């Protein structure tokens, strides 16, 4: 699902509500008939804030996220998959904005969550990186899973099943 809308329309709020980070005033967010709060392991959220500590290096950040989500993977391989080969030991604060974003996006290679909720995933990512991300989304979708994306960048039409447009209301 591709979520669009002008600035301030509530895209981020909606995405955060879907994950349970934002308390909705009424209604219930459910996934496969179960409240989402009971299935947090089925949701991967990458928001505006990358969840990456700038004082740690990429490998340490990835390792902590893997432990937090109870997953195992070869960190070196992951680092090279996101194009950060040789930069794994460099503290994240010395990396460029795009490289920092890549450290966060590593999660897409590992996550077994059925629903990916991604807020502006293409921010600071170069064209080649965007193509890789699109390929990942496509693979995830074909595996019977779901991707909920918001972006100001137009997505290829064949990738989008539902385009949900939010209106700005004052």
Partner 1 sequence: MSYFSFFRQFLQRDFQIAVNQKHELGLPLVFFALILILFPLSVGPEPGTLSKIAPAVGWVAVILSFLLALPRMFSEDFENGWLEQVFLSGYPNVLSVFARIVSFWCLYGIPLVIVTWLLVPFFQFPLDLWWVLAKTLICGSLLLASLGSIASALLLSSRKGSSVLSLLVLPFLIPALIFAAACIDAASQSLPYNAPFMMLSGITIITLTLAPFATAQALKLNLS
Largest Cα–Cα separation, the chain: 48
Q: Which is nearer to partner 1, 44 or 149 (CB)?
A: 44
What's the closest the beta carbon of residue 65 comes to partner 1, in angstroms?
Answer: 7
Q: How far is the CB of 158 from partner 1 (least distance, A)?
A: 30
Quick one: 56 or 160, whose CB is closer to partner 1?
56
Closest approach, Cβ 68 to partner 1, in A, equals 5
CB of 30 to partner 1, least distance (A): 16
Nearest CB to partner 1, comparing residues 41 and 153 = 41
- Structure tokens, 23: 């308390």
Min dist. Cβ of residue 127 to partner 1 (A): 25
- Give the tokens for residue 147: 């991707």
CB 125 within 8 A of CB 133: yes
Per DSSP, the residues of 52-91 read --TTSBHHHHHHHHHHHTT----HHHHHHHTT-TT-TTSB
Nearer to partner 1, 24 or 135 (CB): 24
| CA separation, residue 55 to residues 69, 80, 91, 93, 94 (Å) | 21, 20, 6, 6, 9
Residue 139 DSSP one-character state: H
Residues that bind partner 1 (CB under 8 A): 16, 19-23, 40-41, 43, 45, 47-56, 60, 64-65, 67-70, 91
Burial of 40 (0-12, 13-18, 19+ CB in 10 A): middle
115/149 with CB nearer partner 1: 115
């Amino acid at each position: 699902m591709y979520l669009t809308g002008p600035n301030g329309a509530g895209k981020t709020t909606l995405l955060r509500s879907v994950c349970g980070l934002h308390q909705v005033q009424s209604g219930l967010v459910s996934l496969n008939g179960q409240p989402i709060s009971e299935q947090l392991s089925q949701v991967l959220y990458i928001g505006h804030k990358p969840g990456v500590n700038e004082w740690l290096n990429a490998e340490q950040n990835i390792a902590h996220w893997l432990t937090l989500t109870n997953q195992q993977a070869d960190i070196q391989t992951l680092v090279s998959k996101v194009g950060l080969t040789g930069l794994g030991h460099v503290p994240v604060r010395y990396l460029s904005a795009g490289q920092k974003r890549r450290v966060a996006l590593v999660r897409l290679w590992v996550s077994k969550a059925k629903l990916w909720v991604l807020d502006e995933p293409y921010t600071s990512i170069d064209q080649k990186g965007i193509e890789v991300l699109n390929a990942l989304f496509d693979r995830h979708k074909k595996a019977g899973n779901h991707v909920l994306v918001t972006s100001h960048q137009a997505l290829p039409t064949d990738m989008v099943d539902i385009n949900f447009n939010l209106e700005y209301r004052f």
